[in-house]
Structure 1
Amino acid sequence: MNLAIASMMLHILILVIFIVRILTRPHRQPASRIAWIVVIISLPLIGVLAYILFGEVNIGRRRIARLRRVIEQLPDFPKAISGDEKNVTAKVPEQYEHLFRVGKSISRFNPVGGNSGHLLADSNTVINAMVADIDAAEYHVHILFYIWLPDGNGCKVVEALKRAANRGVICRAMVDGLGARIMINSEHWKSMQQAGVNLGIALNIGNPLLRSLRGRIDLRNHRKIVVIDGNITYCGSQNCADPEFRVKAEFAPWVDAMIRFEGPIAAQNQRLFASDWMAYVDEDLDDLLCQPIAVPKQGIPAQVIATGPTARNSAMPEMFESLIYAARHELVITTPYYVPDESLQNALCSAAYRGVDTTIIFPARNDSWIVAAA
């Protein structure tokens, strides 16, 4: 057997291995399978390399195993001071119970009552409210952002954390290793550390070439969580930055939605923060998570629903579709990236067909040219 024949056989074997893997991998749409096979057959070298780098949802087996281990070892969700879990589990209208059951199947959280929530007007209002809450904190401040820039708003939060740490408040701040790389490499990061703020980095990249061999470096921690004294929490789409967002200033201003909650729901976000913190920082937060929460007062029911590498692949599409099919009168969706699969598209069309006033809000300019073209 000469070298040319051996090379051809090896080439065919590699293609067959990748095609079989594409066909047998779970949780992949038929159109996606066909597209990858066409690319690999048409452009073998480029196609195989592209599939290795981007073809599968994988942040690395060790990271996933560590996250699973941390989540499984977390203590049970705290009950009310009386010890009766029924005191914190919210009563929701019967027509919405199935939606909260879907949510619980994803994050294991029951809906909790006694919460207040306020949608904040704009990015600057959000940051100013966070800074005010941090300045009023008595026990602890927990922050997790995908992007944190050393700009005007970013530095406001930096200084607030330093002030809190200086007066004895326990401060923990975590960021994504790629999204917040500018902050991590800045003097502000060092100044927080020197002030006593505990810092953590999720999904640190290290050597990009070596990291890409162990998992996709484009899969990031996009969570934006703030928890203060276990009773106040923020949740939404806003990163810690000015609305001008200087890293992509041509698409400014960036419009985000952020809600400030008070009540037992903060304990659920606390648990979510702790799962990431304990996975990437060598610190056990079990004692903090075991603290009982106050018997809720009157307020709205709420539930934290979070996905990630340990959640089932279809979790969030199932949640969205359940919500859409539950709509009776009005459905409003705001998204910068509308790339639905067939079932989600059908759910939206079904809502419009049955007379639901359906509105989808897109940005006038999109930072993704592929999504904008679609």
Structure 2
Amino acid sequence: MKRRAVNSSMAWLLAIYVLPVIGMIIYLSFGELYLEKSRINRTRSIWTHTNNLINKLTQQKKIFATTYSNVAHSLFKLCTKRQGIPAVKGNKLKLINNPVDIMRSLINDIKIARHNIEMIFYIWHPGGLADEVAESLIKAACRGVKCRLILDSAGSISFFRSNWVKKMRSSGIEVIEALKINLLQFFLRRIDLRQHRKLVLIDSYTAYIGSMNLVDPVFFKQNIGVGHWVDLMVRIEGPISTIIGMIFNCDWEIETGNSILPIYEKKGIQKIREKNVCTAQIVASGPTFPKGIMHQALLTTIYSAREHLIMTTPYFVPSEDLLHALCTAALRGVDVDIVIPLHNDSLLVTWASRAFFSELLEAGVNIYQFEGGLLHTKSILVDGQLTLLGTFNLDMRSLWLNFEITLIVDNSSFSNNLASLQYDYISNSRLLDRETWSKRSFWQKLLEMIFYLFSPLL
């Protein structure tokens, strides 16, 4: 009874028609976006409190940017209008793409933490450097640092079956199993709604955001034949961490019912850095956040491109609007490069994504298939100036369902660093040739279209 995209409605009708009883059960379980009553009630109370905090925060005018680059202007205006918070200036950002360097940097920051450490991860997989992070957290808690950890129930199932939960809780770390899978709640909450964010906040000033789960790639999914997962994280220092803290507080209160007093309520806003600074914005999406904001942000970003757009994503099943925007960008003269992994851990996504290739190639979009592992980096670079990084995939789950977080940066120096990394991805990729692609077999085309029918449900 809700208006949704026609292709999504048709996909569900097809599923119900082909498998009447099973299709109805699946629809009731996965077809509507809903939470159980306790979370709905918490969300209502949270936003009353959060809006008051936002009003207080926006009075601190010294931290907010008033001018943006031409390419970033429309996107920042959209985010300000939808979220109520303008972009924040005076942040120092460092791009880290080596998993060992990411883990070592995180461990070092945990070692010098004095007050609080907060983390959210979709996957925490024990083994290797992930265990060293766990040990450093335990030591921090033992010396009096307040540690809070939110992990998704489905993504971190191996962690919750390990001894680390008991060790952490006994040391004083609060570990929350987010969106816990419970068959008794099967029809009370959409079961595939997941906490997909990856963020760390230390002393409410130093933060990490990116695509990497808390896993050591050497110990993670080595038996599925896709190689090491390739990710990046951004280390952040500056007042944007205040916004990240607010997002963590909302997620924490939704899960636990307990509110955390924001650090700026006690200590004030952290100082703005004067050198090597970036203007940044955080976009949080999910059922309890502004509806459709990530989809709107991506469309605005693509339509803002004038010269060059580079996109990397592991899962490419775009909406019709995003597909149209990418094709239109290429047709109006923008160089559009899309980098995806050659081998994927999802067979459904692999075949469904191929159904979009012909249209993109005909419009002049360059499609690169990365051969150096499972490219898990989610990034967009526009005209060498505007950057989007985070946990979003180009699929329906990230755009309309899961809890995601995205960092937007308006800075040419930071964007140049990302560009160097993206070009490195491209140099390790094969360019999909339009003529060769058109000669693929009939059976391949048939499989692509079969899986495409279910793309709105992936």
* TM-score, reference length from structure 1: 0.87
Match of 1:309 in 2: 287
How far apart in 1 are the matches of 2:29 and 2:344?
A: 25
Displacement after TM superposition at 1:234 (Å) = 0.5
User: Measured at CA, do residues 149 and 338 of structure 1 come closer, stay the same or move farther in structure 2, by a change above 3 Å?
Assistant: same
User: Measured at CA, do residues 77 and 156 of structure 1 come closer, stay the same or move farther in structure 2, by a change above 3 Å?
Assistant: farther
For the 8 Å contact 2:74–2:304, the answer to whether it is kept is no
CA displacement 1:128-181 (0-9 Å, x = unmatched): 111110101111111111111111122111111111112111111111122112
Match of 1:270 in 2: 245
The one of 338, 344, 348 equivalent to 1:370 is: 348
How far apart in 1 are the matches of 2:219 and 2:78?
A: 35
- Percent pairwise identity: 36
Match of 1:89 in 2: 64
More divergent stretch after superposition (282-291 vs 176-185) = 282-291
SS at match of 1:144: strand
For the 8 Å contact 1:236–1:257, the answer to whether it is kept is yes
How far apart in 2 are the matches of 1:350 and 1:61?
A: 42
> Is it true that 1:217 corresponds to 2:191 in the alignment?
yes
The one of 38, 48, 52 equivalent to 2:28 is: 52
User: Measured at CA, do residues 289 and 202 of structure 1 come closer, stay the same or move farther in structure 2, by a change above 3 Å?
Assistant: farther
How far apart in 2 are the matches of 1:30 and 1:356?
A: 29
Match of 2:116 in 1: 140
Aligned residues: 346
Displacement after TM superposition at 1:94 (Å) = 5.5
What amino acid does structure 2 have at the position aligned with 1:259?
V
The one of 304, 318, 336 equivalent to 2:314 is: 336
* TM-score, reference length from structure 2: 0.72
What amino acid does structure 1 have at the position aligned with 2:53?
D
How far apart in 2 are the matches of 1:218 and 1:243?
A: 25
Gaps of 5+ in 1: 1-23
Q: Which has the higher strand share?
A: 2
Higher RCO by CA contacts (8 Å cutoff, separation 6 or greater): 1
More divergent stretch after superposition (132-141 vs 83-92) = 83-92
How far apart in 2 are the matches of 1:260 and 1:252?
A: 25
The one of 320, 330, 355 equivalent to 1:352 is: 330
How far apart in 1 are the matches of 2:102 and 2:55?
A: 28
Gaps of 5+ in 2: 353-458
> Is it true that 1:104 corresponds to 2:88 in the alignment?
no
How far apart in 1 are the matches of 2:214 and 2:324?
A: 35
User: Measured at CA, do residues 249 and 129 of structure 1 come closer, stay the same or move farther in structure 2, by a change above 3 Å?
Assistant: farther
Displacement after TM superposition at 1:289 (Å) = 5.1
For the 8 Å contact 1:107–1:304, the answer to whether it is kept is no
How far apart in 2 are the matches of 1:290 and 1:78?
A: 13
How far apart in 1 are the matches of 2:48 and 2:178?
A: 19
For the 8 Å contact 1:141–1:169, the answer to whether it is kept is yes
Displacement after TM superposition at 1:282 (Å) = 4.4
For the 8 Å contact 2:29–2:187, the answer to whether it is kept is yes
For the 8 Å contact 2:120–2:199, the answer to whether it is kept is yes
Match of 1:10 in 2: none
The one of 1, 4, 14 equivalent to 1:38 is: 14
> Is it true that 1:178 corresponds to 2:154 in the alignment?
yes
User: Measured at CA, do residues 116 and 219 of structure 1 come closer, stay the same or move farther in structure 2, by a change above 3 Å?
Assistant: same
1:128-167 equivalence runs, <5 A: 128-167=104-143
What amino acid does structure 2 have at the position aligned with 1:373?
W
